[in-house]
Amino acid sequence: MSTSQTVLVTGGAGYIGSLLARELLAGGHRVVAADALLFGGEALLDLLSHPDFTFSKTDVTDSAQLAALFDGRHFDAVVHLASIVGDPACKAQPELAERTIWDGSRELFESCERSGVQRFIFASTCSNYGKMEGQDMLDEDAELRPVSLYAELKVRFERYLLERSTPVDYTLLRFATVYGLSLRPRFDLTINEFARDALLKGELEIYGPRFWRPYCHVSDIVRGVIHVLESDRDRVARRTFNVGCNEENYQKGTIAEEVGRQIPTQITLVERDEDPRDYRVNFDRIAALGFQPRMRLADGIREIARAVGDGLIADPYDPRYRNS
C-alpha cells in the first residue's frame, strides 16, 4: 500500500485495533473501524473528529449489519481482528465464539469477495501449534495441534481460506501472545497480569513455569500488520506469517524472573505437567520480509508498572480489562 487507501479494521475498538487505526491514519490511509463494542468504545473517542476516520457499530455475526457496512463503500483492504479472543473467553461462551470466529468470519470474507476487496488479513494465533514435540522451534509449515476451542476455530477458518478459490489476496497472520499497554488495556494477558500482581500484591504464584510461549508487544503486532499490508502483494498473498521474533520465546519462569528484577516481589514456582500448550515459534519468515519487533519483555513490564503504579489505570482488576 504505497498510496493512500481505505482500510476496514474489524474489532477496531479493541486492544490491537484501536492502536492499528491510529497507525494507519498516521500513515495517510483512510480507516473505517467496525466493532460490536462488547468492551466499550472509549479507545476511539479522540478519532471521531479525524477527517479520514469513520466508525461503524457492526457485529460480524449479524448479516444485516454486515450488509450495511459494505453498502455504498469500497474497501481496498480489510484487517479482520474481530473475534472472541483467548481460550477462557471462548470456553465461557462457546456458541458466541463459533458464531463470531467461524460464521462471522466467513460472512465477512464473502462480503469482501462480492465488494471487490483486494487484500484481506486474518488475525490468527500461534496457539494453533498447541504443543511441540522435542525442542525444535515451530515455523509456519509445522503441524497444527489446536488444544482449545479458540485455536480450533482459528485453524478452521485458516483452512477455509486456504482451500477456497477466490480473487481476494488473503494473508494469515499468527500472532504471538500479546502484551503491553493499549488504549483498551487488558490484564488477562500473562505479562501484563504478572506485572500488575507483582506491583499491587507483592507476590506471584507461577503455575507451569517451564512451559514455553512466544510473546510480542501490542505495538509491534500493529507494526507487523502494517508491514504486511504495505508489502508487495506477490510477497504476502496467500501466505502465512508468524508475527513476533525468535528472541521473545519465553518460559513462564523467565517472565517471572524479569518481573522480579524490576518490581520487588515474592515469587513461588508451582510445577505442573498438564498444560497442553507448550511451544516455541520461529519467526524467520516475517523477518525475511523485513520486519523486526522493537519492544522487548522488559519494556512491557516497565510500562505496565508505570501505568499502574502512577494510578493512570485506577483499578486494573476491573472486569472490563479482561476478555472473560
pLDDT in tens, 33-43: 999 999 999 99
Overall average pLDDT of the 120-145 stretch: 91
pLDDT in the model for residue 2: 54
Quick one: how far is CA 78 from the chain centroid? 15
Number of residues in the chain: 324
- Residues of the chain above pLDDT 70, percent: 97
DSSP 8-state secondary structure symbol assigned to residue 246: G
Going by their DSSP bridges, the two strands 212-217 and 249-251 should be labelled as: antiparallel
Q: Which class in CATH covers the domain with range 179-214+247-280+295-321?
A: alpha beta
Question: Which bin fits 134, alpha (ψ -120 to 50), beta or left (φ > 0)?
Answer: left
Note whether 131 and 277 are within 8 A (CB): yes
pLDDT of residue 3: 80
User: Any residues with CB less than 8 A from the CB of 5 and at least 6 apart, and which?
Assistant: 29, 30, 76, 77
How much is the mean pLDDT over the chain?
95
Question: Strands 177-179 and 249-251, how do they pair?
Answer: unpaired
pLDDT on residue 133: 75
Residue 79 clears pLDDT 60, i.e. is over it: yes
56 class by beta-carbon count within 10 Å (0-12 exposed, 13-18 middle, 19+ buried)? middle
- Work out the angle at residue 193's Cα, subtended by the Cα atoms of residues 188 and 194, and round it to the nearest 5 degrees: 150
Instruction: Give the rounded percent of residues in the chain with a pLDDT score beyond 90.
Output: 92
The CATH code for residues 6-176+217-245 is 3.40.50.720
Task: Indicate the range of 93-97, 143-147, 248-252, 275-279 predicted with least confidence.
Answer: 275-279
The ranges assigned to domains in the chain are 6-176+217-245, 179-214+247-280+295-321
pLDDT at res. 161: 98
Strand partners, 268: 205
